[in-house]
Amino acid sequence: MDLFKQDNAEIIFVALGGIGEIGMNCGLYGFGSKKKRKWLMVDLGISFPDASLPGVDTILPDVSFAKTIKDDILGLIITHGHEDHYGAVLDFAYELDIPVYGTSFLKGMLYAKAEAYQSDTMPQFIQIDSNEDVQLNSDIRFSLIPVSHSIPESNAIFLKSSYGNLVHTGDWKLDKNPVIGTPTSLEQFTDIGAQDILAVISDSTNAWREGVSPSEGEVVGGFEKIFSTSERRVIITQFSSNIARIKSIYLAAQAAGREVIIAGRALARNIQVAQELGVLDPNYRFLSDTAFQDLPAQNVAILCTGSQGESRAQMKKIADKAHPIIKLAQGDLVVFSSRAIPGNEKEIGAIQNSLVKQGVDIVTADNERVHVTGHPFRGEIEQLYQALKPKYVVPAHGEAWHLNQHKIFAEREGYQVAPIAYNGNILKLAPGTPEIIGTVAHGQWCRDGNIRIDTQSASIRERRKLSYNGIVFANIILDHHNEMMAEPDVRMEGIPYDDEFGLDIEEKVIETIEGAIYSIPKSRRKELEKVEEAVRRSIRNEINRLWGKKPLCHVIISKIV
Ligand SMILES: [Zn+2]
Ligand SMILES: [Zn+2]
């Protein structure tokens, strides 16, 4: 008898993040009938805020749905240690309280991060090896399948249940020479494909690009060329977790007689973890930035964070001449060894322009082979699908247009593509043909200093208003006859000092306050709150008349009795 009918079972996929965006990946797989459903969470990442969320540190997925089913979540499997896949694990360790499965490198990164941020809650971490068979209950098992990517120990997940088998690719590519780790094995995926794959849930980041992505191995050559031709300092900025890139740069630097200096805590932390675990040769010698002054320019390669233009990272400080130790000079060379994450182009451009004005040369992935992507092109996706022979393709990890390109390509290759299930959509994968059967709570939360807030929070709205329109404080003292005792005390921030005719705006505001007070009969000035409101309105209207914008405004009237 049909297992699904017998148990009234379904296989469900719900993303709480990462579908319809690049970042904040978080997926849930559900197996069994609605009442007895057991779940698996895959990845729990963050993304980064844009200018609409001033002051916010990171963006987290809204996991309120996961909290409602947490007793039935058998585990959280982390595919790899990129922030968009594991960055929110510590944030939710206490509330979700589910075991986290991952490899030793991931564990090293998580613990190092917890130490750096003095996090007091750690999840129960179950360290597993790639290819280890993990039995979660009597019906559900999984194993991590090693794949090439841009960080060590990246994995796809092979999920097995009596209702059907799934492959969640995570971030991957086919790279015959990944510099660190074993290359993605198509033979292994062919063996998996022989076990009846219901669906592959798969990386869409580069699904619009034809051909095959270049290998990390080519980057070594790119850097060898740069190090041997430049006669000055070379500064390289990249993602701090790309250990293979660090190795590529180190090897090329050694060959050119250059010492490698590390600038940036995250970079130093990740190198330490990689060397402790033997992912990176412990004999490689990296220097701290204090070595900068003592080395001749042609014998230095400096690795630093901040390739995305992050305001607090080392690259920005160096470009702003605000770094306490590292100072660049005419003829030095800065290499951007990464691509811009969409949305970061302006900040990166500002840094590059500032460097050029200082006489520093720039090399990017557009001029030299100093970066390769970690995500598969169409030629690689095609080879994976030929190996897996999935019944259905589920595009994941991408913005709407990446997902759509994935769908167009997979259909062209003859695969059945499930309806695009954006964050919060409940996609039923079986029985029957895949369809969206409902939605769950989803959205974004913000990490704001030590506190977690909603994107709709009043404090964010106020910050936006403050940053666009400024603020006015007015302090007025009335005597017991309700007369003003002195000129109102006015403070303004973020508001121009003079109007377009050169008149002092603060003076006009003081006149406006006095006018507003005099216009109210003395007997009615007793109702202080009403007077405050009338003055507040007058100030905002006057500034709007002069400037064309209404600032935030606080009026305090005190009465001496
Ligand atoms: Zn990713
Ligand atoms: Zn990744």
Distance 375 CA to ligand 1 centre (A): 9
Handedness of CA 377, 227, 279, 268 (dihedral sign): negative
Distance separating alpha carbons of residues 373 and 333, to the nearest angstrom: 22
How far away, in angstroms, is 86 Cα from ligand 1 center? 10
Lowest mean pLDDT among 87-101, 109-123, 274-288: 109-123
CA of 397 to the centre of ligand 1 (A): 7
Model confidence at 2: pLDDT above 80: no
The dotted CATH code for 9-212+373-451 is 3.60.15.10
Mean pLDDT of the chain: 95
Q: Which ligand is nearest to the CA of 373?
A: 2
Q: Is the pLDDT of residue 3 over 80?
A: no
- Please tell me the distance from the alpha carbon of residue 422 to that of residue 124, in angstroms, as a whole number: 30
| Element of type H or E holding 255 | helix 243-255
Strand-strand pairing, 435-439 and 425-430: antiparallel
The 10 Å Cβ neighbour count of residue 443 is: 15
Within 8 A by CB and 6+ apart from 123, the residues are 76, 89, 90, 93, 96, 97, 98, 99, 100
Stretch(es) of the chain classified as CATH 3.60.15.10: 9-212+373-451
Distance 239 CA to ligand 2 centre (A): 11
Residue range 470-491: mean pLDDT, rounded? 94
Residues 6+ away with beta carbon under 8 Å from 283: none
Considering every ligand atom, which ligand is closest to the CA of 150? 2
CA–centroid distance, residue 59 to ligand 2 (Å): 17
| pLDDT band of 445, cuts 50, 70, 90 | very high
Q: Determine the average pLDDT of the residues in 43-54.
A: 91
- Examine the pLDDT at 541 and tell me if it is beyond 60: yes
CA of residue 533 to ligand 2 center, whole Å: 53
Task: Just give the CATH number of 217-363.
Answer: 3.40.50.10710
Q: What is the pLDDT of residue 50?
A: 83
CA of 85 to the centre of ligand 1 (A): 6
Compare 311 and 248 and report the one with higher pLDDT.
Answer: 248
Per-residue confidence band for 133, with pLDDT thresholds at 50, 70 and 90 = very high
Q: In this model, does residue 166 exceed pLDDT 70? A: yes
C-alpha 150 to ligand 1 mean position (Å) = 10
**Closest ligand to 341 CA?**
1
**Cα of 556 from ligand 1 centre, angstroms:** 51
Angle at 224 between CA 312 and CA 220, to 5 degrees: 75
Report yes or no: 223 and 252 within 8 Å, Cβ to Cβ: yes
- pLDDT one-digit tens code per residue, 358-399: 999 999 999 899 999 999 999 999 999 999 999 999 999 999
Q: How far is the centre of ligand 1, averaged over its atoms, from the C-alpha of 503 (Å)?
A: 54
Topology of the domain covering 458-559: Ubiquitin-like (UB roll) (3.10.20)
> Is the per-residue pLDDT at 1 higher than 60?
no
Question: Mean of the pLDDT values across residues 6-11?
Answer: 88
> Tokens 């089913």, residue?
69
- 316 CA → ligand 1 middle, Å: 24
pLDDT digits (tens, 9 = 90+) for 292-324: 999 999 999 999 999 999 888 999 999 999 999
Give CA–CA dist 63/76, Å, rounded: 13
**Residue 81 and residue 155: Cα distance in Å, rounded?**
10
What ligand is nearest to the CA atom of residue 239?
Answer: 2
Residue 38: count other Cβ atoms within 10 Å of its Cβ. 17
Residue ranges of the chain assigned to CATH 3.40.50.10710: 217-363
Nearest to 20 by CA among 204, 155, 200, 144: 204
Element (H or E) spanning 263, and its range? strand 259-263
Distance 44 CA to ligand 2 centre (A): 12
Q: Which ligand is nearest to the CA of 42?
A: 1
pLDDT for 8 equals 87
Instruction: Pick the most confident of 153-157, 459-463, 481-485.
Output: 153-157
What's the CA-to-centroid distance between 84 and ligand 1, angstroms? 5
- For 9, 134, 161, 391, the CA distances from 196, given in Å and listed in that order, are 18, 19, 11, 8
Ligand 2 centroid vs 353 CA: distance in angstroms?
29
Q: What is the pLDDT of residue 487?
A: 93
Alpha carbon of 82 to ligand 2 centroid (Å):
5
Q: Which ligand is nearest to the CA of 147?
A: 2
Ligand nearest to the CA of 18: 1
Average pLDDT over residues 191-212: 97
CATH 3.10.20.580 domain span(s) along the chain = 458-559
Q: What is the pLDDT of residues 389-432, one digit of tens each?
A: 999 999 999 999 999 999 999 999 999 999 999 999 999 999 99
Q: Report residue 121's pLDDT band, with 50, 70 and 90 as the boundaries.
A: confident
CB 173 within 8 Å of CB 149: yes
